[in-house]
Amino acid sequence: MYSKILVLRFPQTEVQRPIVCHLARDYDLTFNILNAQVLPRREGIMVLELSGARKNFKDGVNYLKEQGVQVQNASQDIRRDAKRCTHCGACTAVCPTGALYIERPEMSVNFDQSKCSVCELCITACPVRVMSARPTNKLFFE
């Protein structure tokens, strides 16, 4: 089983088509949508975890590219300014993967970037705005 978190950017001409559904049906891949912003006649952006056999994964990514979808790795897109963090813990309450957690007994907030799914929920939850998304701009070519 191969799994990776990807950022998909759909051109405005393709946002109405069920492109992601074909990944499950035609390529036997499973996906978990972590974040999405898809509006009619506008570019669509989706962060998803894609899983399956390595060959099916590569074939599925090639299919996405053939449909005009830009595919990027999502790794290390979220950054935390630890110096400005007040350790309030608001981000830990919304983090679905446990990447943000409270260290006890110190009660300090820690960030394990390797667990981050790039869902961006921490960005809006943080009252001090120490969390930010920074695209890697690294295209996925596996």
pLDDT digits (tens, 9 = 90+) for 52-97: 998 999 999 999 999 998 898 765 578 899 999 999 999 999 998 8
pTM reported for the whole predicted model: 0.55
Task: Give pLDDT, residue 136.
Answer: 58
Task: Give pLDDT, residue 76.
Answer: 54
Cα 60 to Cα 13, 20, 28, 31, distances in angstroms? 20, 9, 9, 11
Task: Give pLDDT, residue 46.
Answer: 86
State yes or no: pLDDT of 40 exceeds 60.
yes
Instruction: Quickly count: other Cβ atoms within 10 Å of residue 93's Cβ.
Output: 12
Q: What is the separation of C-alpha 135 from the centre of its chain, rounded to a whole number of angstroms? A: 11
Output the average pLDDT for the chain.
Answer: 85
Task: Give pLDDT, residue 141.
Answer: 37
Query: Please, are residues 9 and 72 in contact by the beta-carbon 8 Å criterion?
Result: yes
Mean pLDDT of the region 29-58: 85
Closest CA to 135 of 9, 38, 51: 9
Catalogue all structural domains in the chain, each as residue range(s) with its CATH number.
2-73 (3.30.70.260), 78-133 (3.30.70.20)
Task: Give pLDDT, residue 140.
Answer: 41
Higher pLDDT, 122 or 134: 122
Rg (CA), the chain: 17
